[in-house]
Amino acid sequence: MANPQIEKTFPRGERLCATEEDTQQAAHDLAACLGTHAILSLEGPMGAGKTCFVKGLAKALGCDPREVSSPTFTLIHEYHGGRLPLVHMDLYRIESSADLAPLGFDDYLAGEGIVAIEWGGKFAEELPPHTLRLVFSIEGSGRLIQIQP
Ligand SMILES: Nc1ncnc2c1ncn2[C@@H]1O[C@H](COP(=O)(O)OP(=O)(O)OP(=O)(O)O)[C@@H](O)[C@H]1O
Ligand SMILES: [Mg+2]
């Protein structure tokens, strides 16, 4: 893995999280490795823990994690008040990459803070090369988070 700091928090590129708290702790540990302009693509099936992970990111950055929810009608949320702004997107309902531009997608990607994109894998070709892909999977009652190279 390119970043040795991340390798420390995700040994061999993965973390097995037995509980929601573990998932939030994984986000907390990763956040310490992230600076401005970090983009995270959060991939994996429904209920795999992507939103839970974003709550952990918000908490780690000093934003209010209680504000973090699954964006239902609003596809993009911004959280301020922390070390870095956090932008949280959920592209589950977006059907075509042509629908991204009207949302201001490129402006968000070019912004200062950390951008966490649930279902980002649907539009992988629209994401910049420095995007960190995190793939979530359900492992029994726990969740596995794997960083894709
Ligand atoms: N280890 C774990 N980490 C995260 N969530 C867990 C874990 N174990 C159980 N859960 C449960 O799994 C669900 C994860 O929900 P979450 O909204 O984070 O999923 P999601 O990946 O965002 O789904 P969606 O694609 O529908 O947005 C929650 O109900 C949570 O309580
Ligand atoms: Mg979600």
Q: Domain limits of the chain?
A: 16-122
The structure tokens listed for 130 are 């420095």
For residue 1, which of 107, 110, 148, 133 has the smallest C-alpha distance?
Answer: 148
Q: How many CA atoms does the CB half-sphere of 119 hold within 13 Å?
A: 18
Interaxial angle between packed helices 50-61 and 20-31, expressed in degrees from 0 to 180 and rounded to the nearest 10? 50
Beta pairing partners, 143? 17, 138
What pLDDT does 66 receive?
A: 80
Q: With 60 as the cut, is the pLDDT of residue 1 above it? A: no
Residue 45 Cα to ligand 2 middle (Å): 9
What fold is seen in the domain 16-122? Rossmann fold (3.40.50)
Q: What distance lies between CA 114 and its chain's CA centroid?
A: 9
Matching residue, tokens 């964006």: 71
Q: What is the pTM of this model?
A: 0.95
Is pLDDT above 90 for 74? no
| Alpha carbons 132 and 28: distance in angstroms, whole number | 15
**Is residue 73 scored above 90 in pLDDT?**
no
Residue 78: how many other CB atoms lie within 10 Å: 15
Query: How far apart are the CA of 136 and the centre of ligand 1, in A?
Result: 10
Query: How far is 82 from 5, CA to CA, in rounded Å?
Result: 22
Q: Angle at Cα 75 formed by Cα 87 and Cα 93, nearest 5°?
A: 135
Instruction: Give yes or no for residue 26 CB within 6 A of ligand 1.
Output: no
Distance from residue 88's CA to the centre of ligand 1 (Å) = 16
Query: Average model confidence (pLDDT) for the chain?
Result: 93
Half-sphere CA count of 142, side-chain side, radius 13 A: 10
Alpha-carbon torsion angle 25, 20, 69, 107, nearest 10: 40
Q: Per-residue pLDDT averaged across 39-50, rounded?
A: 98
**Ligand 1 pocket, 43 CB below 6 A?**
no
